[in-house]
Amino acid sequence: MSHFLYSLIGLAAGVCFILALKGLSTPKTARRGNIIGAIGATIATLVVFFYAQEGESLPLNNFGWIIGAIAVGVVIGVPAARKVQMTQMPQLVALFNGVGGGAAALVAIVEYLHLGDTANTAEVIATVFTVIVGCVSFSGSIITFLKLQELMTTRPVVFPGGRFVIAGTLAATLAAAVWVVIELGTNPLMILAALSLLFGILFVLPVGGADVPIVISLLNAFTGLTVAASGYVLDSTLLIIAGTLVGASGTILTRLMAEAMGRSLFGTLFGAFTAKPQEASGAAEERPVRSGSPDDVAILLNYARRVVIVPGFGLAVAQAQHTVRELADLMLAKGIDVAYGIHPVAGRMPGHMNVLLAEANVPYDQLAEMDEVNPTFGQTDVAIVIGANDVVNPAAQTTPGCPIYGMPILEVSNAANIIFLKRSMRPGFAGIENELLYDPKTMLLFGDAKASLTKVVSALKNL
């Protein structure tokens, strides 16, 4: 195959990726967009097997190894993607992003070993960039995975002098980068990779649980840029186009997500260092709360005219989506006006809750976005908060310096009655006490969300 044809097919794959991102931006065309992206990736992968790189011949060297490795990747990747619970999908995306970053770093290292002394300075700089950012993306993504999977604390991890350690590691990493460019050796490159991995860990540790999706999106954009840099070293236009597209769209997406959460990117990454330490509110747990029975809840609902359901991650964890739909249908049958108030970051990621409710066949027109539903809380008789906490926490509006300050919330406190379905008094993902729980018009229904809702449904049926 001529170089021209090879490049032309690569360009076609690049166009597929543009159409894919375009398609993914609109609900109607999203699924088709994803498939177009997959087709582009398949074309790009197949065509490599039919083009002899400079100084090489066909079939590719190490052909068996290449096919075997692809098979292993498919065998690991596809079942993981198919079997994952929808609630755990954000951490899987984080993991996929991490391995992509790792792959880019490895490609850069191999190419560096291969080029040896023949590499020109521009190529070495691109390699160094890929190794640093790829390694940061890899180790950072692993930490976000551990946080989302709750294998480690979801709170910001800050240790004394942390900011100096991070600054020191960054300085050492940059020094190692300069060293690699000047010395051109394998050992400096390995040290650079190790320092970058360490920096990735330190960089993500101080980020609080609720901000993790923003970091995943940022690391996703980073990985895109490493792919573009690899494209430069490997003289592949396709990799430059694809990597740059992801880098640019990922950056915009990160900003959009941060805006939806009312956070600045800077605040997300460095907030833990500038925020005042949280006063430990040990006395808080002693305060009285009003808890009710499923029957109390059913009675309250039976005489309501308008009810807003605020679902959170706890709903998904309890797999209570179907039960909540049953409750909503029952209320609708009784002539009660029902809407779901969806916070942009309900769940673990923007749009996550929409996916989870759609899975339970909740009609799309009952889902109201935050801006739509907030003005209506004044006319709402009952707001039912199911397994959500941070997204309704008034501290976001009233307590400057708290980790979620400035995040737009669902203003359920304007409703005449508030019902919280919770497993315990434990604070939400961001680890902040919620004043609303102690509000006199709040009723708490403790227990597993699914079990509680089932009881409420049967109590309401009997009324």
Partner 1 sequence: MEPIAIISIFVLAVFVGFEVVSKVSSTLHTPLMSGANAIHGVILVGAIIVADHSSTNLELGLAVAAIILATINMVGGFVVTDRMLEMFKPKKGGEKK
> Please, which of residues 50-69 interact with partner 1 by CB under 8 A?
53, 55-56, 60-62, 65-66, 68-69
Q: How far is the CB of 228 from partner 1 (least distance, A)?
A: 7
Q: Is residue 438 at the binding interface for partner 1, with CB under 8 A as the rule?
A: no
Given the residues 329, 390, 439, 448, the one annotated as active site: 390
- In the bound state with partner 1, the residue whose beta carbon lies nearer, of 61 and 281, is 61
Segment contacting partner 1 by CB under 8 A, of 97-105, 268-276, 287-295, 426-434? 97-105
Q: What does the alpha-carbon distance between residue 372 and residue 407 come to, in Å, rounded to a whole number?
A: 17
> Going by C-beta distance under 8 Å and a sequence separation of 6 or more, which residues neighbour residue 63?
none
Query: How many residues line the site for partner 1 (CB under 8 A)?
Result: 114
Q: Is residue 121 at the binding interface for partner 1, with CB under 8 A as the rule?
A: no
What would the x/- binding string for partner 1 be over residues 284 to 323, using CB under 8 A? ----------------------------------------
Q: How far is the CB of 442 from partner 1 (least distance, A)?
A: 27
Exposure b/e, 298-333, CB count within 10 A at least 16 = b: bebbeebebbbbbbbbbbbbbbbbebbbbbbebbee
Q: Please check whether residue 354 is in contact with residue 319, taking contact to mean a CB–CB distance below 8 angstroms.
A: no
Q: Is residue 99 at the binding interface for partner 1, with CB under 8 A as the rule?
A: yes
Tokens, residue 108: 């850069």
3-state secondary structure (DSSP) of residue 339 = strand
Segment contacting partner 1 by CB under 8 A, of 154-162, 241-249, 297-305, 418-426? 241-249
CA dist list (Å): 188 to 113, 125, 130, 139, 175: 12, 13, 15, 19, 10
- In the bound state with partner 1, the residue whose beta carbon lies nearer, of 65 and 273, is 65
Tokens, residue 370: 């935050």
* One residue of 6, 9, 33, 189 binding partner 1 per CB under 8 A: 33
Q: Please check whether residue 140 is in contact with residue 98, taking contact to mean a CB–CB distance below 8 angstroms.
A: yes
Q: Is residue 369 at the binding interface for partner 1, with CB under 8 A as the rule?
A: yes
Cα dihedral sign for 254, 258, 264, 265? negative
Q: How far is the CB of 2 from partner 1 (least distance, A)?
A: 16
What would the x/- binding string for partner 1 be over residues 66 to 95, using CB under 8 A? x-xxx-xxx-xxx-xxx-x-x--xx-xx--
- In the bound state with partner 1, the residue whose beta carbon lies nearer, of 361 and 462, is 361
Q: How far is the CB of 266 from partner 1 (least distance, A)?
A: 20
Q: Please check whether residue 157 is in contact with residue 206, taking contact to mean a CB–CB distance below 8 angstroms.
A: yes
The verdict on whether 390 is a catalytic residue reads: yes
Candidates 275, 133, 279, 281; CA nearest to 208 is 275
Q: How far is the CB of 213 from partner 1 (least distance, A)?
A: 8
CA dist list (Å): 356 to 211, 349, 351, 362, 455: 20, 11, 9, 9, 22
Q: How far is the CB of 390 from partner 1 (least distance, A)?
A: 16
* One residue of 12, 96, 125, 446 binding partner 1 per CB under 8 A: 96
Per DSSP (E only), the strands in 221-318 are 306-311
Q: Is residue 194 at the binding interface for partner 1, with CB under 8 A as the rule?
A: no
CA geometry: angle at 297 spanning 293 and 303, to 5°? 145
Q: Is residue 22 at the binding interface for partner 1, with CB under 8 A as the rule?
A: yes
- Indicate the residue type of 190: M
| Contacts (CB under 8 A) with partner 1, residues 318-347 | 326, 329, 344-345
Active site residues: 390
